[in-house]
Amino acid sequence: MVYSDNSIIMNNIGKNFATKTGLVIAVHDISLAIGDGEFFSILGPSGCGKTTLLRILAGLETASQGELIINVSSQDRPVNSMVFQEQSVFPWMSVKDNVAYGLKLRGVPKQERYEIADRYIRMIGLSKFANAYPHQLSGGMKQRVSVARAFANDPEILLMDEPFGALDEQTRLILQQELLRIWELAQKTTVFITHSIDEALCLSDRIMIMTAHPGTVKAIIDVDLPRPRDLSAIRTSLHYNELFQTIWLTLREEVLKVKNQELG
C-alpha cells in the first residue's frame, strides 16, 4: 500500500540513558516515515530498544538525538493512546467506564462518551459485560477492554507494546483477528511491538526489523498480503511462508548476536 501522507517521521533518532555504570545507548540513528493509517510493526531481539522507541513516540521519553515529527490532523484528538502488555484497566471502574475514561478526560459529554464506548464494547464482543468490573473478567477480556479504550479515544496514533504477549495462544489468535477487524474499520496509524513473526505478518503493512543492542533499523519488509485478511487463510498461503522465512533469516542473525553476547 502507498500512503500519501506521513503520520510519523523520525530523523536520526537516538536515545542514551545515563546509568551508574556508564552511558547506555538504547537506540541510535533511526530514520523512517510511517504512513497515515499504516499498521507498522517492530520486531527485534530482546533489549534492542523497541519499548524505548515506542515510549519516545508516546512522549514518555525524549530522544537524545534526532527529530520526531507527528502530524496532527485535529487539535481536538489526543496524539496517541498506548496499550501495554500488562493489563492496564482500572479495577475500580466498570468496563464501560474504563473504555470511556479517555473521553471523560477530554470533556466529552456523558451520553456521547457512553455511546462511543458502547460501540467499541460491541466490537470487542463484551456487551454483556459492559457493567462488569475487571475482577469479573479473564485476562483476555481485560486486554480487550484496553484495546477498546485505545480505539475509543480516537487518537492520531495507536501505540501497542506486545498487547497480546501475556495471553494464551487461543485468546491471542482471536484477539489478533478482532484487532484486525477494528483496525480495518478505523484505519488508524498503529505502531505495534511484538516478538512474534507470525503476529507481525498477520497484522502489518510493513515490519521493521531492528539490530541487536544498540538497536537501529536492520530492514523494513513490505507485507504485501491482501486485505481484508482472513488470518487462517493467510497463514496457509505460500507467500506468507516466504515472508516468514525472509524475516526469520534476517532476525536470526540479531538474535544469535544477543545469545553470543550473553555467553560472554
Ligand X SMILES: Nc1ncnc2c1ncn2[C@@H]1O[C@H](COP(=O)(O)OP(=O)(O)OP(=O)(O)O)[C@@H](O)[C@H]1O
Q: Which parts of this chain interact with ligand X (CB under 6 A)? A: 17, 19, 24, 26, 44, 46-52, 213
State the minimum distance, in angstroms, from the CB of residue 42 to ligand X. Answer: 8
Paired strand residues for 22: 19
State the minimum distance, in angstroms, from the CB of residue 66 to ligand X. Answer: 16
Q: Which three cell numbers stand for residue 157?
A: 496514533
Q: Which of 150, 132, 148 is nearest to 82 (CA)?
A: 150
Query: How many Å is the maximal CA-CA distance in the chain?
Result: 60
Q: Which three cell numbers stand for residue 209?
A: 526489523
State the minimum distance, in angstroms, from the CB of residue 53 to ligand X. Answer: 7
State the minimum distance, in angstroms, from the CB of residue 105 to ligand X. Answer: 26
| Distance (Å, whole) CA 32 – CA 68 | 10
Nearer to ligand X, 50 or 188 (CB): 50
State the minimum distance, in angstroms, from the CB of residue 230 to ligand X. Answer: 29
Residue that is written with C-alpha cell 537506540 in the block: 27
| Distance (Å, whole) CA 216 – CA 48 | 8
State the minimum distance, in angstroms, from the CB of residue 163 to ligand X. Answer: 13
Nearer to ligand X, 161 or 205 (CB): 161
Nearer to ligand X, 37 or 47 (CB): 47
Nearer to ligand X, 174 or 258 (CB): 258
Sheet holding 217-222, edge to edge: 80-83, 157-161, 189-193, 39-43, 206-210, 217-222
Q: Which of 70, 61, 87, 67 is nearest to 34 (CA)?
A: 70
Nearer to ligand X, 46 or 237 (CB): 46
Nearer to ligand X, 46 or 136 (CB): 46
**Rounded to an integer, what is the distance from CA 173 to the centroid of its chain?**
16
Q: Which of 98, 82, 177, 87 is nearest to 140 (CA)?
A: 87
